[in-house]
């Protein structure tokens, strides 16, 4: 699948192929994260009304978790802008079920995450978790992430340049039932981006969780978790190898985690 790009630096003209009235945006890096500012730029090219409901602090790694044991505090931060003391999924719930209950958003955008969200790592991702929560609440939802290289500046301009055009094209017409979309932008300058590819999730780079044991200044032990990543064997049409080649990848994600092969095998054993 090949999609041509036009840099999205001006407000969307009336003749653009996709338009919606109201967009809700969130993220997992926190309301002050630079990626959220990039996402706001993208959203304002797509809709006249943009609502920002984002975590008050970094909530990376929270997946689709919601706060059932603690109250949520909602702090106004400006016009249609709110910080929530909770997870990205909490923010979507607050946005759709409280702040925008009378006028639900046409689209939910989550990101732009600092770092790609690939393969099985998406189960931990708060960015993807927010989009999955939007899917559960019946709203079109998209997660967006910008790949970067450790020690190098994040190429936010790549997501900023291409984000609105990609969303317009995939959001026009019928929306695939029962899915949210996971978009990853490659770690290349905007002019070097290759055609968009529809991809499968694949294995990704995650290969473990490391537990680091240390002591604080008072001599008490604590443990710090760190995700371990390394190249893994993956299908050619999976998002990780395609992203590495410079493509923007779009992966449809759903809730059904049933392993079809194992389902048949277990059924045969019981028979």
Would you say 113 is a known binding-site residue? yes
Strand partners, 247: 194
Contact (CB, 8 A) for 223 and 211: yes
Alpha carbon of 146 to those of 34, 87, 155, 219: distances in Å?
A: 11, 20, 7, 39
221 is an annotated ligand-binding site residue: no
Q: 90 among the known binding-site residues?
A: no
SS3 of 108, please?
strand
Q: Any idea what DSSP says for residue 188?
A: S
Cα–Cα dist 9/12, whole Å:
9
Stated as kind and residue range, the H or E segment containing 91 is helix 88-94
> How many CB atoms neighbour CB 176 within 10 A?
11
The Cβ of residue 37 has, within 10 Å, a number of other Cβ atoms equal to: 14
Burial of 235 (0-12, 13-18, 19+ CB in 10 A): middle
Closest by Cα among 158, 136, 131, 135 to 63:
131
Is 70 part of any known ligand binding site?
A: no
Residue ranges at the known binding site for a divalent metal cation: 28-29, 60, 113
Residues flagged as binding site: 28-29, 60, 113
């Amino acid at each position: 699948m090949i999609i041509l790009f036009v840099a999205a630096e001006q407000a969307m003209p009336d003749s653009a192929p996709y338009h919606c009235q109201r967009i809700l945006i969130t993220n997992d890096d926190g309301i002050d994260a630079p990626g959220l500012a990039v996402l706001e730029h993208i959203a304002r090219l797509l809709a006249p009304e943009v609502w920002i409901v984002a975590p008050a602090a970094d909530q990376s790694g929270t997946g689709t978790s919601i706060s059932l044991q603690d109250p949520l505090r909602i702090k106004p931060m400006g016009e249609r802008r709110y910080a929530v003391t909770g997870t990205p999924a909490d923010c979507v719930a607050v946005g759709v079920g409280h702040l925008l209950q009378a006028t639900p958003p046409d689209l939910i955008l989550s990101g732009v995450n600092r770092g790609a969200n690939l393969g099985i790592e998406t189960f931990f991702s708060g960015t993807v978790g927010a989009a999955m929560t939007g899917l559960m609440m019946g709203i079109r939802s998209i997660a967006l992430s910008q790949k970067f290289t450790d020690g190098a500046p994040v190429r936010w301009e790549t997501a900023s340049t291409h984000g609105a055009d990609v969303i317009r094209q995939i959001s026009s017409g019928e929306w695939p039932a029962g899915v949210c979309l996971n978009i990853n932008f490659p770690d290349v300058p905007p002019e070097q981006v290759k055609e968009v590819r529809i991809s499968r999730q694949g294995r990704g780079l995650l290969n473990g969780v490391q537990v680091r044991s240390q002591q604080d200044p008072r001599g008490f032990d604590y443990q710090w978790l760190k995700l371990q990543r390394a190249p893994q064997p993956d299908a050619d049409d999976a998002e990780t190898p395609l992203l590495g080649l410079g493509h923007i990848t779009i992966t449809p994600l759903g809730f059904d985690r049933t392993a079809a092969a194992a389902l048949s095998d277990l059924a045969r054993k019981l028979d």
